[in-house]
Amino acid sequence: MRNINQVTVVGHIGNPVELSQNGILNIALATSRRWTDKTTGERQETTEWHRIIFFGEYAKVAAKHLKKGASVLIQGKIQQRQWDNNGNKQTIHELIANEFTLLDKAMGCVNRIILTGNVGANPEIRSFGNGGKQVSIGLAGTDQWKDTKGEIQTRTDWHNLVFNGRQAEVVAEHVRKGDSLYVEGHLKTESWEGAGGIKKFVTKVIVDNFTTINSRVGQPA
């Protein structure tokens, strides 16, 4: 079964736009998110940087029209890439672009992801001193396509989902390994320094709405 994997971002390009020798275009896009802290009532703002990749002829088209500082709407899917860095396993999530629109002026930013997939393990629960909960689960999303020989290829990507507040309580009580979920949320990337001073990254989906899609218990999106 092919799962939904849709990402939409609106933001500003933060790096010089240059097509690589192998025909790949790699850009960094900044999106800002504003909200009110429910505990303090204070306004908060964060900026997320998204690594976006264009391939093939589409990369050439994008390279002609995009430039540093430009406002752009980009749609695509999130993919996980892994490699070995001198014995250290590195993992990064990238947005593979399949459509872009250059904007004259963006009134705000968008950071939106929609996923469906299967839960890989029972929820991991964190409890806080104020009685709140945070729940993390891994969601496996599968994509299928035909290659140039007409053969069906399959790829599975793992997504790190984070639930807070009342949603965390619902997930902790009702969601289990093997369940199918539909989720809507926004992307958040964290970084830290690992062994040997190597910088590591993890991209999480902070879930805003979800529902189970296997006729059990869920929360309407």
Say which CATH number the domain at 93 has. Answer: 2.40.50.140
Residue 67: pLDDT above 80? yes
The predicted structure's pLDDT at residue 78: 96
> What are the pLDDT digits (tens) for 180-206?
999 999 999 998 887 777 788 899 999
The predicted structure's pLDDT at residue 32: 93
Least confident of 43-47, 122-126, 214-218: 214-218
From the list 221, 140, 157, the residue with the least C-alpha distance to 184 is 221
> What are the pLDDT digits (tens) for 3-15?
899 999 999 999 9
Rounded Cα distance, 71 and 62, in Å: 13
Residue 188 lies in a domain: yes
Confidence band (pLDDT; 50, 70, 90) for 215? low
Residue 125 lies in a domain: yes
Residue 65 lies in a domain: yes
Range of the domain at 170: 5-212
DSSP state of 108: S
If you average pLDDT over every residue of the chain, what do you get? 90
Residue 221 lies in a domain: no
Residue 28 lies in a domain: yes
The predicted structure's pLDDT at residue 120: 96
Rounded Cα distance, 209 and 219, in Å: 7
Residue 98 lies in a domain: yes
Residue 218 lies in a domain: no
Residue 218: pLDDT above 90? no
Confidence band (pLDDT; 50, 70, 90) for 1? low
Task: State the average pLDDT over residues 76-99.
Answer: 88
Residue 219 lies in a domain: no
Residue 216: pLDDT above 90? no
Rounded Cα distance, 212 and 221, in Å: 10
> What are the pLDDT digits (tens) for 90-145?
888 999 999 999 998 777 899 999 999 999 999 999 988 777 889 999 999 998 88
Residue 221: pLDDT above 50? no
The total of structural domains in the chain comes to 1
From the list 53, 180, 49, the residue with the least C-alpha distance to 119 is 180
> What are the pLDDT digits (tens) for 24-42?
999 999 999 888 877 778 8
Rounded Cα distance, 13 and 26, in Å: 11
